[in-house]
Amino acid sequence: MRKSKFLQLSYKFKILKKFYLFYNLYIRNRKYLNNGSQFGEDKFLYNLFEKNYVGKYLDVGCFHPTKHNNTSLFYKNGWQGINIDLNPLTIDLFNFMRPNDININTAVSNEESEKTLFFLSENNTQNTLSENQLLFLKKHHNLRDEEIIKKKIQTRRLDNILEENNFDNIDFMNLDVEGHELEVLKTINFKKTKLKYICIEMINHNNLSIKNSDQILDLLETNKFEQLKKFEFNYIFKNKEL
């Protein structure tokens, strides 16, 4: 009898969870179902490839399957890839809407260790591992200390994740991890992992963020990337050798 009640509760919980995911995809964010990128990055990138070409993408800091998402257009046209985010709800949404992708719930950094996550909410795009990014949020988004929840979270290196999934030929990589982009890029083995295009968010709000952006540009230039386009805070780079 107890087992039967437990199964009934489990079933009800699964139904409620599916409804919550449906709500976050088709009701709360219904206006974003066909919008994709925030500034048109997806259309620019998609048009760089031959018509009917079907490739692979990598989205680190993917946040939401459709809302302000730079890979949604690619998925709708048959592409597949890996989506990574530190927010469990995000990965639940991707598993619900993109079951053919590899969706991974983890934080990505330059080492596999425990770091402090500054968490705002499961529906917020700006959860971050970067204390410097937190300064930006406080100054420009009026973020208050009482709104921040500090959590200890385990981080992974991106190169290890790609190796585990045998994922080393990537047509398009999107990187938006709220001020932690340099640390992620440092873990990529550019000789082994072939990347054609990269879109990176870089917000230059103080001297440290400018220094980080300069290091990102130096790293990409060293690995034969050139800048193609800028959309607000998002910079698109092309691998000159691919």
> What pLDDT, on the 0 to 100 scale, is given for residue 144?
87
pLDDT mean over 186-193 = 95
> What pLDDT, on the 0 to 100 scale, is given for residue 12?
56
Domain 35-239 classification at class level = alpha beta
HEC string of the chain equals: CHHHHHHHHHHHHHHHHHHHHHHHHHHCCHHHCCCCCCCCHHHHHHCCCCCCCCCEEEEECCCCCCCCCCCHHHHHCCCEEEEEECCHHHHHHHHHHCCCCEEEECEEECCCCEEEEEECCCCCCCCECCHHHHHHHHHHCCCCHHHCEEEEEEEEEHHHHHHHCCCCEEEEEEECCCCCHHHHHCCCCCCCCEEEEEEEECCCCCHHHHHHHHHHHHHHHHCCEEEEEEECCEEEEEECCC
Question: Hey, where are the domains in the chain?
Answer: 1-33, 35-239
Model confidence over 87-106: pLDDT tens digits?
999 999 999 999 999 999 99
Model confidence over 157-176: pLDDT tens digits?
999 999 999 999 999 999 99
Model confidence over 202-230: pLDDT tens digits?
999 999 999 999 999 999 999 999 999 99
> What pLDDT, on the 0 to 100 scale, is given for residue 140?
83
18 — pLDDT class (breaks 50, 70, 90):
confident
> What pLDDT, on the 0 to 100 scale, is given for residue 17?
82
